[in-house]
Structures are given as structure tokens and as C-alpha cells.
Amino acid sequence: MNRPDNKNIFTQPAAIVLLALLTCCLWGSAFPAIKKGFILFHIEDTGSQILFAGYRFFLAGMLTLFIVSVLEKKLVTIKTSSIPSIFMQGILQTTIQYVCFYIGLSNTTGAKGSVINGSNAFFSIIAAHFMTKNEKMSLKEVLGCMIGFTGVIVVNLNGEGLADGFSFMGEGLILLCSISYGISSVTLKKISDKETPNAITAYQLLFGGAVLILIGGMTGGHVGGFTFVSSLLLLYLSLISTITFCLWANLLKYNPIGKISIFGFSIPVFGVLMSAIFLGENAITATTVSALFFVSIGIIIVNKNQKADID
């Protein structure tokens, strides 16, 4: 077990909290941005949604590769031996997640989809418990997860029914999306020693985005309505992916999975707040404040007195 590097920002307690919350806030802002994108690009069917996602993530991969290459003053590449594992990471972390997410969400209510998708933090910690030797769930993590997930449920208590049955093409695919996310968090950490987190991010986005484009095209998807405004929105969504995936990959590399994944409970809360700001939805309510309280307590419990050890 290596000791934390005091000069590494991704191992500093205050920086971990700020960077993790920034990442989740950006992810939360993607919800209203995607809704705006569907309108601006005239997207209605599933194939077009998947194609739109493919454009977003492939562009994000290109941007990540460009930015990282500029910073390192050379074209960032990966070893031939790393291609299979990073390709599979792209399939798991990008392709499978977003195919399941878009199809599943079109066959269930927004409230049920949000609640089920909010369970990805649970699956990350559970996956780490079974797939790694050094990250077994503690009582504190179990308690923190339970309280944090309570916040996810509370933020969705808007009067919309949560018990209207279960279908594989709806709730089932959203659940598979969350499971895919949880497993991908562990596999990302496992391959982080093969290449730099930024290189892994760039190429898994390129691989996963390319497969999404292929699927979207094969299912008759079409994305039109390219204007200056809609193109800026697509660029913003791609930059969100570039920044968040790079930050998350680095945070997972240098910290226990459970310590980082717990912050994922804040994403639905940020999503609601951002929807209120940018879509004009009536979301700043006592329910939202209560949800934020539960999420914050869950994060504090998991992170209290916990050392940022490095595997």
C-alpha cells in the first residue's frame, strides 16, 4: 500500500471534496442541457438520442486527447497492450450506460428513473467490495450510503408514483445502467496503473462514443438542427464529459472507490437545482433542501476521519 503524496491535489481532503462536488455539479448540469439539446436538434426517437450521445462523447474524447496532448507537448498515445482493456472500459463506461439510460428512461417515469439511476453510488461501493481485496464495505459506508440514497429518494418525491410496476425495457434497463456504472468505477481503477487517467479517459470516450454513433446510425438515428447555439450546447456537453471524466478518473486512481462514489448521491440534487435555474422548473422547494441535507450527511459520514490511502 503506497502512502499518499502530499503534493498530489487528488489526495488532499479538502480538494477531494471540492473536486468531487464540482464533478457531480457538472454532471447534474447535463440533465437540463440534454433536454435543451433534444429540442434544438429535433431529437425524438431512441436511435437519434443514442446518436446524439455518440456525437457528444466522441467529441469529448477528441477534446480530451487534444487538451492532454497540448499540456504534455506531445501526442498522447496508449500502448498496444492497453487497447483491449481501454476499449472494454469505453464499452462499459460509455456505450452500455448510455444505451441503457436513454432506452430505459423513455419507458419509465422521470421520478422512477432518477431514483434507480441514483443507486449507482451503491453499486460502485458494492462492486468494489466484491471485486477488490482492499475495499471492503464498513458499517460507516453502509450507513452513509443509506442516508445518501434517502436524499435521492426524497428529491424525487414530487407526487409522481414510484410503484407502477417494473418492466425490463424501462426500470430494468435503468438498473442495468446503474450496475454498469458501478462496475466501470472498479474496472477504471484497476486499469489506472496501465496508462494515465487522462489517456484512459480520452481513448475510452473515443471508443465508447464511436460505438454509440454506430448503434445510433444502424437504428435509423438522425441529428439535425445544427446552428451556432445548438453547436455551442453540444460543445458544452462534450466539455462536461472531458472535465468530469478526467477528474473522476484521477480521484478514483488515488482514493478508495467508496470514498469517491458516495458523492454521486449529489448528482440528482444538482440536476434538480440546475433544472430550476435553466429550465424554469419549480424545483427549489423544502423537498430539495431536505434531499441536499441527507446527501450532505451521507457524504460526511463516509469521509469522516478516513485516510486517503492509495492502492
For 203-225, write each residue's pLDDT tens digit: 999 999 999 999 999 999 999 88
Phi and psi angles of residue 98, each rounded to the nearest 5 degrees, phi first? -85, -25
More confident residue, 239 or 271: 239
The C-alpha atoms of residue 290 and residue 267 are separated, in whole angstroms, by 15
Percent of the chain with pLDDT over 90: 37
Q: Read off the pLDDT of residues 38-64 as tens digits, 9 standing for 90 and up.
A: 889 998 888 998 999 999 999 999 999
pLDDT on residue 23 = 93
Alpha-carbon separation of residue 123 from 65, 131, 179, 187 (angstroms): 29, 11, 6, 13
Average pLDDT over every residue of 241-268: 86
At a CB cut-off of 8 Å and minimum separation 6, what does 178 contact?
A: 116, 117, 118, 119, 120, 122, 123
Q: How many degrees, rounded to 5, is the angle at CA 283 between CA 282 and CA 285?
A: 105
Enter the pTM of the model.
0.81
> DSSP alpha helices (H): ranges in the chain?
13-40, 46-72, 83-90, 97-105, 110-117, 120-131, 139-155, 173-190, 197-218, 228-254, 257-261, 267-279, 286-303
- Residue 307: predicted pLDDT: 47
Indicate the DSSP class of residue 195.
S
> 486517503: which residue's cell?
308
pLDDT > 70 fraction of the chain, expressed in percent and rounded:
84
Give the CA angle between residues 136, 142, 168 to the nearest 5°: 95
Rounded to whole angstroms, the Cα distance separating 137 from 242 reads: 30
What is the pLDDT averaged over residues 190-200?
A: 90
Which residues sit opposite 310 in a β-bridge?
A: 2
Chain segment 6-26, per-residue pLDDT in tens:
678 999 989 999 999 999 889
Tell me which residue of 63, 90, 118 sits closest to 236, measured CA to CA.
Answer: 63
Return the domain boundaries, the chain. 13-303
Q: List the Cα angle 24/25/27 in 5-degree steps.
A: 60
Angle at 86 between CA 84 and CA 89, to 5 degrees: 110
| Spatial contact of 99 and 212, defined as CB atoms under 8 Å apart | yes
Backbone φ, ψ for residue 46 (5° rounding): -65, -45
pLDDT of residue 295: 75
Question: CA-based angle 215:219:223, to the nearest 5?
Answer: 85
pLDDT (0 to 100) of residue 223: 93
Mean of pLDDT over the chain: 82
2 strand-pairing partners: 310
**pLDDT value at position 65?**
96
Categorize the per-residue pLDDT at 158 as very low, low, confident or very high, splitting at 50, 70 and 90.
low
